[in-house]
Chain A
Amino acid sequence: MIEINNLTFTYPTGTNALKELNLKINDGEKIGIIGQNGAGKTTLIKNLNGLLKPTKGSVIVNGVDTRNVQIADMSKTVGFVFQNPADQIFNPTIKGEIEFGLVQQGFKKNEIKHRTDSVLKNIKLYEKRNVHPSNLNYSERKLLTIASVLAMDPKIIIFDEPITGQDYKGKIAVEKIIHSLKDKTVIIISHDMEFIARMVDRIIVMCDGRIIADDSKIKIFQNNKALCTAFVEPPEALKISKKLGLKPCLTIEECIEEAKKVFK
């Protein structure tokens, strides 16, 4: 469980990126964070794994105050997939990239091998395991960075804009992986509302360093005031279902099902 109390964060440049946030995230929740560029989303999630420490207030992850631990220790509980794969791939082979975090945590050799092989098969890069990561295309690199976090099996996984810049196939692959994380707490930042609608249950809307709305996705997408303030458009499916006078739907599939029932 994550508990954020009165979290305020100010960068040394003086930018007040987070202002008195309060938030509680339960185990196993699937959460989306949306809001304009510069709203403070990345700053918020960097506070969740201790990369940034609160200027004021506190962040408690599974009972541990982030101010009292090293990030190296936090990495066992909180996995973090950064936005740009180029910044987080730094090993000479794909296999080595996956092993990195496990080696840092001092796992036994055969446990490392077992986990590495299993995640590599999962992202279909097992055959390429000995090549240099620069041979991968953008979506394969993204998958590799996700896999390297999954291998460490953290309870909480954070994705910063996981499908930004991905082609369709890459998007689907990322979706499939995130969907498979049933028993984990998943936090996703994204500007793609269709994606958010498919992946999460609860949405947090941020604007100018504050949380302006925090509710179930269906309520958030109907909260015009919050969406407007954050300059967000709800998913197309919601607009269509409303125009057709159906019950509000968030995905095209749901919308079709509803339409079939109503219009026969």
Chain B
Amino acid sequence: MPRTILISYIERDSLIHKLNPLTKLTALICVIILAFILGPVNNLILFALILPLSYISKLTWDVFKPIRYLLIIFAILFSIQGLFYPFRLTPLYTIPFTNIIIWKEGIIYAAEISARLLVMMVYGFLFVLTTHPGDLVNALRKLKMPYKVGYIVLSTLHVIPSIQMQVETIIDAQKSRGLDVSGNIIKRLRAYVPLLGPLFIGSVQQAVERTMALEARAFSADCEKTSFRQTVFRKRDRNIIIATVIISVTVGVLSWIY
């Protein structure tokens, strides 16, 4: 039985893991900006580049499994935009025996957004899976980022897997009381609605408690903090940043022109 795969740092000995977090962050930002500039086809090419990158990172395929939840969003996007896109002009397909029309512009628009989401998701994943949260905070602090901002980043990264685990426990509890989560997608989505209540309440409670626990351990103490993890900015980091920016700007400008 497949259990949830946690979206958090996975220790591997790879080139990408060893890069400075800022290098990866810069590359991630470039990719996100590109995702907005490029059209759906080019975005798919960008998406395909994740293959060699995750191979270099020594990650296995199943780490990308959570992406499948995006399919739900895609299904909604395509059906809503296909039917109701405001600037619809060209009918693509009329459902037989009805006057329901699927519009070409809507489908193109949905494809654009979907491709963008897909690219941002997988590269965001790659970043989170290959970057130790401590290193990221450390690197951000070297940029004179306030300690508290660093903590916000850190705790967000920490909260994602803990929410995933909580979701799993709550679903287990619901299934044990006869909730049927098999069947078509609508049925499944509806089954997950009762999950939101305990998840939300639990998260708020945890946040309140975490705040107090932090304060009780001198989080707001007004002094220079020690840091254990060391991040180094090597020559190859500089080179990769320069190369990524140049390539991204070129690709961006080219696709803008054509």
Contacts and interface: CB of A to CB of B under 8 A. Distances in A.
Interface of A: 11-12, 46, 49, 51-53, 70-72, 75-76, 78-80, 82, 84, 86-92, 100-101, 104-105, 134, 148-149, 152
Interface string B177-214: 11110100000000000110110011001000000000
Please name the 5 residue pairs, one residue from A and one from B, whose CB atoms are nearest each other, closest first: A104-B178, A88-B173, A101-B177, A80-B176, A75-B178
Contact of B3 (A11, A76, A88): A11
B215 interface: no
Contacts of A78: 176
Nearest to B166: A87
A236 B82 CA distance: 72
20 contacts: A11-B3, A46-B172, A51-B172, A51-B176, A52-B1, A53-B1, A72-B178, A75-B178, A78-B176, A79-B176, A82-B169, A82-B172, A84-B169, A86-B201, A88-B170, A88-B177, A90-B194, A90-B195, A101-B177, A104-B179
Q: In this complex, which of B2, B170, B176 has the most chain A Cβ atoms within 10 angstroms of its Cβ?
A: B176
A148 B177 contact: yes
B56 interface: no
Contact of A87 (B3, B5, B182, B198): B198
A90 B2 contact: no
Given A72-B175, A82-B176, A87-B173, 13 more contacts: A12-B3, A12-B5, A46-B172, A72-B178, A72-B180, A75-B175, A78-B176, A87-B169, A90-B194, A92-B197, A100-B179, A134-B201, A149-B177
Contacts of B175: 51, 71-72, 75
A101 B178 contact: yes
Nearest to A82: B173
Interface majority SS on B: helix, strand, loop or mixed? helix
B26 interface: no
Contact of A70 (B5, B182, B205): B182
B176 A49 contact: yes
Contacts of B182: 70, 72
Given A51-B172, A82-B169, A87-B170, A75 B177 contact: yes
B248 interface: no
Given A12-B3, A12-B5, A75 B202 contact: no
Chain A CB within 10 A, most for which of B169, B173, B179, B205:
B173
B231 interface: no
Given A82-B169, A82-B172, A82-B173, A90 B197 contact: yes
Contacts of A86: 198, 201-202, 205
A164 to B, nearest CB: 15
B244 interface: no
B36 to A, nearest CB: 35
Interface in B1-18: 1-3, 5
Contacts of B2: 12
Given A51-B172, A88-B170, A100 B177 contact: yes
Nearest to A88: B173
Max count, chain B CB within 10 A of own CB: residue among A82, A86, A134:
A86
A194 B64 CA distance: 47
A88 B169 CA distance: 8
Nearest to A73: B178
B170 A71 contact: no
Interface in B27-83: none
A127 to B, nearest CB: 23
A236 to B, nearest CB: 34
A134 to B, nearest CB: 7
B166 A76 contact: no
A137 B190 CA distance: 29
A89 B173 CA distance: 9
A55 to B, nearest CB: 9
A76 B178 contact: yes
Contact of A89 (B3, B5, B180, B198): B198
Nearest to B194: A90
Contacts of B174: 88, 90
Contacts of A71: 175-176
A12 B177 CA distance: 25
A72 B181 CA distance: 8
